[in-house]
């Protein structure tokens, strides 16, 4: 208060000069404070004392300590006169996090537990907590709700933005502790993303966090390694189908054309955080308004919005294929078609069977739908997966194994976890093409490479057991798969090499109706002993040859294209295959 007086009261300067007996000292000093204030003690002058440690007052460095002028920190002065704000030195480093609206029940209970850890009496250590699980926005919402419960604000910082130099970290720790008391507020530190965190001195960040004696929450996708800190730990519980259904219902309340069955279909298909569900619902409402269909059924718009939100986390992990094929594009026997329709039914009706009929409480694991499509190259496995995805109204994501499999120990498992976690949001059918490269048999351990390769397969077995979505594995070497995978696969669809009638039907469908043609004979073309993929290549190449000549597609163009395709396959055309073509 003595240091603040000259900034508030114009007469304070003269009073300081009179009290100190020196007309030149029209400002407060430590010597004046020691002489004029009750019960003074020299420890108040030290850099580790509260006055200077928390930068409440700062002496000039030009003169002796007791005679130096005392300056009050501007932030503290404004606080004393009733104008609080976040210290400008923290702008750009800290972000305010506002409390959300009503949280789902499990997240509300998590926020209550976090708030209790900050405010409970008899704490044996600093009020620090680690918060893991869910996505970042959900964790921040829970932390903000907890801070609001505890009568605090919340500010967030990213771990990689914290200072690297020890002296800078110490200054930041002192500055934030002062702000946490003045505002008052809690601090959330978000863990760095893989590859983003800057190199720091060993345990540098942990030393900074441990030095804070104010409410702190460390947020991250994964908990730190055991033993790195003494902070209590909280894991955000996942939202069950009923909680998701409640959020969809509240977000779409009053929207036209939404029945309970459609809401349950949305909740069963998509496993999205609450804020993403609300965003998808708002997007659907805007789309309905922009299209002038306020009275139309909003259900398809909500489904599409959920699909767009769910696909965001998968775009970096695979190649997205927007399904366009349908049942009429498949040339398969009825036995295989029936199995594919059964796969669609299992996915589409899982909400009814698992939740409404209670199978989830009995089975607990293995609730996902996993199918194996086995057959030679070009027999229609990927096309069948596209048809299934199209019937379900979801995207088809082809997982690029080159982006998943890593030579570094443990990286393959991390990449696979990202794939499965993203897929469980429900917006995609996962297609593992050439799955035998990833799901192969475990081998006898002869060296460390075999041991870690077997660990990858074992992790896959465990993850497939817990997976709740739809995954399709394709292979042309069915026997190469680990037997343990076969036990966990719900459907196996064999794609046989097409016979002459099937090949003729494929030829009829592969050339579009608007393509000019002359003298094409599907029965003769079916003499070529190639699968559907090669038939497509031959038809396309023949069309280009005809277009280059400026004439309709004829048998001779397809013959030339067939020769090129057979060279690629390292085979030779036989007279029985091309007899009577020209």
| Of 106-110, 381-385, 390-394, 396-400, the least confident | 396-400
Cis geometry, peptide bond prior to residue 575 (ω within 30 degrees of 0): no
Q: How confident is the model at residue 236 (pLDDT cuts 50, 70, 90)?
A: very high
Q: How confident is the model at residue 154 (pLDDT cuts 50, 70, 90)?
A: very high
pLDDT exceeds 60 at position 193? no
Q: What is the pLDDT of residues 30-39, one digit of tens each?
A: 888 888 889 9
Q: How confident is the model at residue 402 (pLDDT cuts 50, 70, 90)?
A: low
Residue 202 is predicted with a pLDDT of 44
pLDDT exceeds 60 at position 160? yes
pLDDT exceeds 70 at position 461? no
What is the mean pLDDT of the segment spanning 374-385?
Answer: 89
DSSP codes, 15-62: HHHHHHT-TT--S-BHHHHHHHSSS--GGGGSTTSHHHHTTSEEE-SS
So what's the architecture of 90-235 in CATH?
A: 3-Layer(aba) Sandwich (3.40)
Higher pLDDT, 309 or 13: 13
Residue carrying the six token digits 């800190």: 229
- CATH of region 327-495, choose from 3.90.1150.10, 3.40.50.300, 3.30.930.10, 3.30.420.40: 3.40.50.300
What is the mean pLDDT of the segment spanning 173-177?
Answer: 93
Q: How confident is the model at residue 122 (pLDDT cuts 50, 70, 90)?
A: low
Residue 556 is predicted with a pLDDT of 92
Q: What percent of the chain lies above the pLDDT cut of 90?
A: 34
CATH topology match: 327-495 vs 500-578 = no
Q: What is the pLDDT of residues 258-287, one digit of tens each?
A: 777 888 888 888 888 899 898 888 888 888
Q: Which of 322, 318, 346 is nearest to 431 (CA)?
A: 318
pLDDT exceeds 70 at position 463? yes
Hey, where are the domains in the chain? 5-83, 90-235, 241-312, 327-495, 500-578
Q: In sequence order, what are the beta bridge partners of 430?
A: 397, 471
Mean pLDDT score of the chain: 84
Residue carrying the six token digits 């990927």: 382
Residue 200 is predicted with a pLDDT of 44
Q: Please give the Cα distance from 471 to 406 (Å, whole number).
A: 21
Q: Give, in words, the CATH class of 500-578.
A: mainly alpha
Higher pLDDT, 336 or 450: 336
Q: How confident is the model at residue 452 (pLDDT cuts 50, 70, 90)?
A: low
CA 200 to chain centre: 26
Higher pLDDT, 2 or 400: 2
DSSP codes, 251-282: HTTT-TT--HHHHHHHHHH----HHHHHHHHH
Q: Is the pTM of this model over 0.85?
A: no
Residue 197 is predicted with a pLDDT of 43
Residue 577 is predicted with a pLDDT of 87
């Amino acid at each position: 208060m003595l240091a603040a007086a000259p900034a508030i009261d114009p007469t304070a300067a003269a009073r300081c000069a009179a009290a100190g007996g020196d007309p030149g000292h029209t400002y407060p000093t430590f010597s004046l404070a020691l002489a004029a204030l009750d019960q003074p003690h020299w420890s108040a002058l030290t850099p580790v004392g509260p006055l200077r440690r928390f930068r409440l007052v700062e002496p000039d460095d030009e003169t002796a300590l007791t005679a130096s002028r005392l300056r009050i920190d501007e932030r503290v002065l404004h606080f004393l006169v009733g104008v609080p704000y976040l210290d400008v030195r923290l702008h750009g480093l800290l972000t305010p996090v506002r409390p959300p609206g009503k949280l789902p029940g499990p997240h509300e209970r998590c926020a209550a537990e976090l708030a209790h850890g900050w405010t409970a009496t008899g704490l044996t250590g600093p009020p620090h907590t680690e918060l893991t699980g869910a996505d970042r926005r959900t964790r921040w919402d829970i932390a903000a709700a907890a801070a609001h419960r505890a009568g605090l604000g919340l500010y967030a910082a990213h771990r990689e933005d914290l200072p690297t130099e020890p002296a800078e970290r110490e200054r930041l720790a002192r500055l934030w502790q002062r702000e946490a008391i003045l505002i008052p507020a809690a601090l959330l530190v978000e863990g760095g993303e893989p590859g983003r965190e800057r190199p720091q001195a060993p345990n540098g960040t942990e030393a900074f966090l441990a030095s804070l004696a104010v409410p702190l929450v460390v947020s991250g996708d994964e908990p730190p390694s055991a033993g790195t800190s003494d902070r209590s730990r909280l894991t955000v519980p996942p939202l069950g189908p009923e909680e998701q259904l409640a959020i969809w219902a509240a977000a779409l309340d009053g929207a036209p054309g939404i029945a309970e069955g459609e809401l349950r279909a949305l909740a069963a298909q998509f496993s999205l955080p609450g804020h993403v569900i609300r965003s998808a619902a708002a997007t659907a409402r805007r789309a309905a308004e922009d299209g002038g269909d306020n009275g139309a059924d909003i259900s398809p718009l909500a489904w599409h919005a959920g699909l767009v939100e769910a696909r965001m986390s998968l775009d970096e992990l695979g190649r997205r294929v927007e399904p366009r094929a349908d049942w009429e594009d498949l040339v398969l026997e009825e036995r295989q078609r029936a199995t594919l329709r059964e796969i669609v039914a299992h996915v589409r009706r899982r909400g009814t069977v698992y939740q409404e009929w209670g199978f989830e409480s009995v089975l607990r694991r293995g609730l996902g739908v996993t199918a194996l499509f086995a057959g030679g190259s070009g027999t229609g496995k990927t096309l069948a997966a596209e048809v299934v995805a199209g019937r379900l109204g979801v995207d088809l994501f082809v997982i690029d194994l080159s982006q998943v499999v890593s030579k570094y120990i443990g990286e393959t498992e991390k990449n696979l976890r990202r794939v499965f976690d993203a897929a469980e949001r429900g917006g995609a059918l996962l297609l593992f093409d050439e799955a035998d490269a990833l799901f192969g048999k475990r081998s006898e351990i002869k060296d460390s490479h075999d041991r870690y390769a077997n660990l990858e397969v074992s992790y896959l077995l465990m993850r497939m057991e817990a997976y709740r979505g739809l995954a399709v594995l394709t292979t042309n070497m069915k026997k190469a798969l680990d037997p343990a995978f076969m036990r966990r696969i719900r459907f196996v669809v064999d794609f046989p090499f097409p016979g002459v009638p099937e090949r003729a039907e494929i030829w009829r469908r592969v050339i579009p109706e608007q393509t000019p043609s002359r003298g094409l004979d599907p029965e003769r073309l079916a003499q070529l002993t190639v699968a559907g993929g090669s038939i497509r290549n031959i038809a396309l190449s023949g069309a280009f040859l005809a277009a280059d000549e400026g004439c309709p597609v004829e048998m001779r163009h397809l013959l030339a294209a067939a020769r090129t395709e057979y060279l690629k396959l390292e085979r030779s055309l036989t007279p029985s295959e091309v007899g009577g073509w020209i």
